[in-house]
Amino acid sequence: MRILTLAALLLASTAPALAQTAKVAPVLTTPEAKDVWTYARPAEARVTHVDLDLHLDFAAKTISGVAVLDIEVAKGAKEIVLDTLDLNIAAVTNENHVKLSHKVGPKDPQLGSPLTVQLDGAKKIRIAYVASPGARALQWLTPEQTQSKTLPFLFSQGQSINNRSWIPTQDSPGIRQTWSATITVPDGFVPVMSGQMLDGDKGELVPHYRRKFRFRMDNPVPPYLIAIAVGDLKFKEVGPRTGVWAEAGMIDAAVSEFADIEKMIDAAQALYGPYRWGRYDMLVLPPSFPYGGMENPNLTFFTPTIITGDKSNTDVLAHELAHSWSGNLVTNATWADGWLNEGFTTYFENRIMEALYGKERAAIYSDLDYAGMLRDVKNAGGEAAPSTRLRGEPGGDAGQLAYLKGSIFLRTIEVAVGRTRWDAYLRGYFDRYAFQPQTSAGFLADIRTHLIKGDKALEARLQLDRWVYQPGVPSNAVQVKSATLAKVDAQLAAFNAGGPASAIDAKGWQTQQWQRLLGNLPRQQSAARLAELDAALGLTRSQNAYVQSAWFDLAIANRYEPVVPALEEYLTRVGRNLLVTPLYRGLKAQGEWGEPIARQIFAKAKPGYHPVTVGGGDANPRPEVT
């Protein structure tokens, strides 16, 4: 397969850029909106649009080509600063191909290197470059690592600050940008992106047995939402505005599992206003995808681990869909305010689930979230631990509590003011800040203006600042309890009192009931008791990846040798952070017993893991709970 030389990159992308039609999104300038995860100085010069013309080389595992950036420059500014990570910059020119002076600064392990360009009056700059074969956002899979075993596969994971490893731009959620792309791949491959596909799944045949595909996103988005996947992909419609991309062997199961997505969109729109992104298609990736889902506009990425045949994990669909409002439409300006994405979305997800499946199904998720919040606060060091604040430190984010504590905060407001009033406020909030960044301070100012309206008693009752800026769980936190999980708790109590595992009636259980049982069993169990559980409930041979992960976690805590072969098979098959990272941590905690097992399995499994998983999430501030 052919790779462009650096010199040839200057001549790439000679076609005119695709039209940009959306208005420029504002950049916030308040102190709370300062993003320490970017080198950019957007108040001086900022990117408004990115046009990519890129060539993929699977043999070299490189993406190469040209990025043309439209920029907005403040009066007196002479340079623009971009974010890059291990990009080989061939040249930087203006729109007339005149060279611009530029410098790549020192590399920080997490932030990468600043690319400073002297503008000389340019309003558009062209950057010819090659991304490193080890680009942090990208995973290149061999045919053997895919389901079809026919073609290699590529996919990206941009959140939080990984896209700078394949796109030179200002990689900050507060600097929203429209984008367009021309992607050239070998004949036989199909690329998909998180924007409108302009040429269908056949593309345009070009010399050297390659095909060219064009994409466009007219709404300004945070850069982490620019995503790509390329492989032996097929498409199947789910509904008039939805469909599934996947390898052929997975597509029918995915379509069946995702059959309720059109109803979910209807429910979401009824709650908080129109879906503003056109189509809502879904991509099922190979098992190495590190998250449950990633809310890339127009094309949500999903792990195959949520496809269990019983739709018990459709909360992940609801969660990623909800991001079309909370996160994609209104975005945290910095990752310290990640709860504005994930807390809002977890709350919204629950409302979608209630609308489709009833109050008890929603109560199951709320009950689990409340228990998870208390567990996370305890594990963080207790009520006074700084990491339990919703608003995180400037150099980080709010962590897992961004999801759980954030959603319970919003539930508490709902109960205090009434659902009708709360829903009207939220719908207005999404309208007021559509396609804009937001901060915690901005949200609190807005809710005081449009909901509290000077009501001092309501202000005191809600404890807004206590929720956002103080650690621990405020006294007014609303807990929703599930009757379904109460029955699981009763069976758990009977087993813990010495009852037989055979008395646990798990018939018809879905993922959440298994999680309640396995997550609350005492961590110390005898080998005989573990064998009894496994024999009665078929845990080791479960086809549910969530159940297996929770079971292996318990078994590891007790150094239960019989599960080790199945554990190795699991860890070499599944690459989702949520499911595999706790198992490696558990093995490591077991010292001389577990560490050798962990090292042996990881050495075998590492080639199938995304760089985010290999790095333990260190390069990616966003954790995952869905």
Predicted pLDDT at 298: 97
Specify the CATH number for 485-504+520-614; select among 1.10.274.10, 3.40.50.10860, 3.40.50.150, 1.25.40.320.
1.25.40.320
Q: What is the 3-state secondary structure (H, E, C) of 524-538?
A: CCCHHHHHHHHHHHC
Phi-psi region of 538 (alpha: psi -120 to 50; beta: other; left: phi over 0): left
Q: How far apart are the first and last CA of the chain?
A: 38
DSSP-assigned beta bridge partners for residue 624: none
| 389-393: long-range contacts, CB 8 A cutoff, minimum separation 24 | 389/468, 389/469, 389/470, 389/471, 390/339, 390/343, 390/440, 390/467, 390/468, 390/469, 391/336, 391/337, 391/339, 391/440, 391/468, 391/469, 392/335, 392/336, 392/337, 392/338, 393/336
Specify the CATH number for 233-324; select among 3.30.590.20, 3.40.309.10, 3.30.2010.30, 3.30.70.1070.
3.30.2010.30
Predicted pLDDT at 361: 97
| Residue 284 near residue 250 (C-beta atoms within 8 A) | yes
All CATH 1.10.390.10 domain ranges in the chain, comma separated: 329-469
Main-chain dihedrals φ then ψ at residue 44, nearest 5 degrees: -95, -50
209 is catalytic: no
Assign domain 329-469 to a CATH class.
mainly alpha
- The β-bridge relationship of strands 190-193 and 177-186 is unpaired
Predicted pLDDT at 226: 98
**For the chain, what's the residue count?**
626
Predicted pLDDT at 283: 98
Cα separation, 57 vs 66, in Å, equals: 15
How does DSSP classify residue 112?
Answer: B
How far does CA 596 lie from the centroid of its chain? 31
All CATH 1.25.40.320 domain ranges in the chain, comma separated: 485-504+520-614
44 is catalytic: no
Catalytic residue among 39, 403, 429, 584: 403
- The β-bridge relationship of strands 153-156 and 113-118 is unpaired
Helix/strand/coil percentages in the chain, nearest 5 = 40, 20, 40
Predicted pLDDT at 398: 52
Cα separation, 155 vs 393, in Å, equals: 30
| Residue 116 near residue 100 (C-beta atoms within 8 A) | no
How does DSSP classify residue 186?
Answer: E
Tell me the average confidence (pLDDT) per consecutive run of 10 residues in the chain, 626 residues long.
33 37 84 97 98 97 98 97 98 97 97 98 97 96 89 96 98 98 96 95 87 97 98 97 96 97 98 97 92 96 93 95 98 96 98 98 97 93 94 70 95 98 98 98 98 98 97 97 98 97 96 96 96 97 95 98 97 92 96 97 91 61 39
Predicted pLDDT at 201: 85
All CATH 3.30.2010.30 domain ranges in the chain, comma separated: 233-324
Assign domain 6-226 to a CATH class.
mainly beta
Predicted pLDDT at 171: 98
Predicted pLDDT at 616: 57
Work out the angle between the directed axes of helices 401-417 and 419-432 (0-180°, nearest 10).
Answer: 120
Catalytic residue among 320, 342, 349, 354: 320
All CATH 2.60.40.1730 domain ranges in the chain, comma separated: 6-226
Give CA separation, 108 vs 37, 84, 461, 614, in Å: 11, 10, 45, 19
pTM exceeds 0.85: yes
Predicted pLDDT at 290: 86
Predicted pLDDT at 394: 67
